[in-house]
Amino acid sequence: MKTEPENLSVALKNYFREIERGMDSARFTLGTDPVNLLSHRDGLATLLSWLVECRSRGNKVMFIGNGGSAAICSHMAIDFMNAGKMRAMDFNGGPLITCLANDYGFENIFAKAIEVHGCKNDIIIAISSS
Residue 2: pLDDT band (50, 70, 90) is low
User: Domain 59-130, CATH 3.40.50.10490 — does that match?
Assistant: yes
What gap in Å lies between CA 70 and CA 121, rounded to an integer? Answer: 23
pLDDT digits (tens, 9 = 90+) for 104-127: 999 999 999 999 999 999 999 998
Query: What are the sequence ranges of the domains in the chain?
Result: 59-130
Q: Determine if the pTM surpasses 0.85.
A: no
SS (H, E, C) the chain: CCCHHHHHHHHHHHHHHHHHHHHHHCCEECCCCHHHEECHHHHHHHHHHHHHHHHHHCCEEEEECCCHHHHHHHHHHHHHHHCCCCEEEECCCHHHHHHHHHHHCHHHHHHHHHHHHCCCCCEEEECCCC
Q: Terminus-to-terminus CA distance in the chain, angstroms?
A: 34
In 3D space, the residue among 78, 27, 57, 37 whose CA is nearest the CA of residue 123 turns out to be 57
Q: What angle do CA 124, 104, 98 make, to 5 degrees?
A: 80
The tens digit of pLDDT for each residue in 60-102 reads 999 999 999 999 999 999 999 999 999 999 999 999 999 999 9
Q: What is the pLDDT of residue 102?
A: 97
Phi, psi of 93 (to 5 degrees): -65, 135
